[in-house]
Amino acid sequence: RENFVGHQVLRIQPTNEEQISVLRSLAEKHDLGLDFWTEPVSVTKPVDVRIPFKVLQPIKIFLLENDIQYSIMIQDLQDLLDEEERVMKTRSAQ
């Protein structure tokens, strides 16, 4: 099974077209394994992106260097998925 331990989902809030362009270029770097849940479109729409643990640090540094604001939407995706599975098993038993 694919493991998402340490993967975070960041909510990124671009504030201008230049930042959107930077995020689009990031989205095109497929080797990073980023999974855009919502894509960079406009300053009115936050960008949600799942970031694998192995590239978490460099991506955060990259965002800071480009003065792009973000918050952590999901701290550890695997924790959330484990909780989802636990709830399903509990309900199944019921």
Contact set with other proteins (CB under 8 A): 1-2, 4, 9, 11, 30, 35-39, 41, 45-46, 48, 50, 73-74, 77, 80-81, 84, 87-88, 91-92
Least Å distance, CB 87 to other proteins, is: 6
Query: Of 15, 9, 16, 3, whose CA–CA distance to 81 is shortest?
Result: 3
Q: Which is nearer to other proteins, 45 or 54 (CB)?
A: 45
Residue whose C-alpha is closest to residue 49's, from 41, 40, 62, 58: 40
DSSP state of 8: E
User: Whole-number minimum distance, CB 62 to other proteins, in Å?
Assistant: 20
The helix or strand, by DSSP H or E, that contains position 22, with its residue range, turns out to be helix 17-27
The count of residues in the chain is: 94
In the complex, least distance from residue 40 CB atom to other proteins, rounded to whole angstroms: 8
Nearer of residues 60 and 76 to other proteins, judged by Cβ:
76
